[in-house]
């Protein structure tokens, strides 16, 4: 068993993990990345379409190109990287146990950054009735088959769910000569970004059926057909609209779930809405020295936003670790946490990141959130009781887009953390 010590250990070598590690190293910490795959880059390695980096790098890149820029920076920075290494345990004391082909590693860390990403929801998550044939798979798995393994998932394809991966795969499969019969979405609105609706469906004449879902899977041992039906405003199936569609493949693009088994092992509390950790404005969880960023925290819309968030977490983790180390050397005692005030979703808002703010604060605080439904004209209102801390201008909002507001610390610092809380609402403008 090999024992190692680092100021900061980053779990996950995707875009979040690499960005966090680079910032932690830049801040002066010793840093290690643990990645279970045989290369860094995470999901970006199979995302060969363009559209990455427009915000962060000011240029349009494919997923592998975006990843390569960070992989090169990690190598140049001299960050220790453990590939093909699986973390099997993480304790509240920030001890990481991992396994690879050389045996067991035990890493003691001054701070941990959770950057494990997310996984796709499967058929079992939504309980589609019917047989269990081959030919039912997630959109991300189909993406790997086509882009990495050069495998063809099928000929006649139905896609359930309008998440971005499903939309992108509708185009990809069409370009590879397969027939995408349609994209079916339970909700009355699309869940993917508008640019993907336009570029991946409209430009290729692929129909999008809203308020429609798959109600039965037919065929065995291979998929032969699916039954689809319209749903009403309560999402109940309208029986007279049931229709059988012959197909040999069903792709599921029905949402993503943060990979938080390790978070739970470490004792981190999770947000019931996002299934990611509860964090403060520095992306610190409620376990001292453990930080979270990227899709393990909440599912993002753009990798550029993942990178910015991860840089913040990496810096905060390094500062924490170095402060704790300095306090131990000088025997001044550990750094004491400040008071906090809760912040959470109000009208039409699904969740906020962070869920608590440290007071007093010395700098503006960035609050991220998503709306629960499309709103044509609405304004963001952030308030504590009857006191309005922020009010935005009327604009359109969509659940597929992650929104952000900046809060002035002056208004927050006057709050009593034990008695007041902050809500973020998006109110329709009549």
Domain edges within the chain: 2-119+256-336, 122-252, 343-428
Backbone phi, psi, residue 260, to 5°: -115, 25
What is the per-residue pLDDT for 224?
98
Structure-block tokens of residue 8: 């900061």
Cα 246 from chain centre: 34
What is the third-level CATH fold of 2-119+256-336? FAD/NAD(P)-binding domain (3.50.50)
What is the per-residue pLDDT for 416?
64
What is the per-residue pLDDT for 413?
79
Nearest residue to 15 via CA among 33, 45, 36, 41: 41
Measure CA of the first residue to CA of the last residue in the chain; give whole Å.
65
**Which residues of the chain fall below pLDDT 70?**
331-337, 416-419
How many residues can be counted in the chain? 430
For residues 404 and 281, what is the distance between their CA atoms, to the nearest angstrom? 13
Burial of 235 (0-12, 13-18, 19+ CB in 10 A): exposed
Q: What superfamily does domain 122-252 belong to in CATH?
A: FAD/NAD(P)-binding domain (3.50.50.60)
The model's pLDDT over 262-286, given as tens digits with 9 standing for 90+, comes to 999 999 999 999 999 999 999 999 9
For residues 109 and 405, what is the distance between their CA atoms, to the nearest angstrom? 33
What is the per-residue pLDDT for 418?
56
What is the per-residue pLDDT for 246?
98
Cα 54 from chain centre: 19
**DSSP SS3 for 118:** strand
Alpha carbon distances (Å) from 112 to 253, 323, 337:
31, 14, 17
For residues 113 and 318, what is the distance between their CA atoms, to the nearest angstrom? 10
Structure-block tokens of residue 317: 């983790």
Nearest residue to 279 via CA among 349, 383, 207, 367: 367
Beta pairing partners, 229? 213
Topology agreement, domain 2-119+256-336 and domain 122-252: yes
Beta pairing partners, 323? none
What one-character DSSP code corresponds to residue 197? I
What is the per-residue pLDDT for 415?
77
């Amino acid at each position: 068993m090999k024992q190692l010590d680092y100021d900061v250990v980053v779990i996950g070598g995707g875009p979040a993990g690499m960005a966090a590690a680079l910032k932690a190293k830049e801040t002066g910490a010793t840093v290690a990345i643990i990645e279970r795959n045989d290369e860094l880059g995470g999901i970006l390695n199979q995302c060969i379409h363009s559209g990455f980096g427009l915000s962060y790098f000011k240029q349009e890149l494919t997923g592998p190109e975006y990843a390569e820029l960070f992989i090169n920076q990690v190598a140049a920075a001299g960050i220790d990287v453990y590939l093909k290494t699986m973390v099997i345990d993480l304790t509240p004391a920030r001890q990481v146990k991992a396994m690879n082909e050389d045996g067991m590693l035990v890493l003691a860390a001054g701070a941990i950054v959770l950057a494990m990403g997310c996984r796709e929801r499967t058929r079992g998550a939504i309980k589609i009735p019917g047989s269990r044939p081959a030919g039912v798979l997630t959109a991300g798995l189909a993406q790997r088959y086509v882009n990495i393994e050069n495998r063809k998932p099928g000929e006649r394809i139905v896609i359930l769910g309008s998440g971005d991966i499903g939309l992108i795969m509708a185009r990809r499969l069409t370009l590879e000569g397969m027939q995408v019969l349609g994209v079916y979405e339970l909700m009355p609105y699309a869940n993917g970004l508008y640019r993907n609706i336009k570029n991946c469906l409209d430009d290729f004449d692929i129909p999008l059926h809203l308020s429609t879902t798959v109600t039965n899977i037919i065929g065995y041992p291979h998929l032969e057909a699916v039954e689809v039906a319209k749903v009403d405003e309560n999402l109940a199936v309208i029986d007279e609209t049931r229709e059988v569609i012959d197909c040999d493949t069903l792709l599921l693009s029905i949402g993503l779930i943060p990979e938080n088994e390790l978070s739970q092992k470490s004792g981190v509390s999770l947000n019931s809405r996002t299934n990611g950790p509860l964090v403060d404005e520095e992306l610190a969880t409620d376990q001292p020295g453990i930080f979270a960023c990227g899709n393990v925290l909440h599912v993002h819309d753009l990798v550029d936003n993942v990178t910015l968030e991860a840089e913040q977490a990496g810096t905060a983790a390094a500062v924490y670790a170095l402060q704790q180390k300095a306090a131990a050397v000088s025997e001044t005692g550990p750094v004491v946490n400040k008071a906090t005030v809760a912040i959470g979703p109000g009208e039409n808002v699904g969740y906020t990141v962070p869920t608590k703010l440290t007071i007093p604060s010395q700098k503006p605080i960035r609050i991220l959130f998503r709306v629960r439904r499309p709103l044509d004209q609405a304004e963001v209102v952030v308030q504590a009781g009857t006191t309005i801390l922020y009010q935005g201008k009327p604009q359109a909002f969509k659940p597929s887009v992650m929104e952000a507001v900046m809060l002035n610390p002056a208004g927050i610092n006057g709050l009593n953390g034990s008695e007041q809380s902050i809500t973020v609402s998006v109110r329709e403008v009549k």
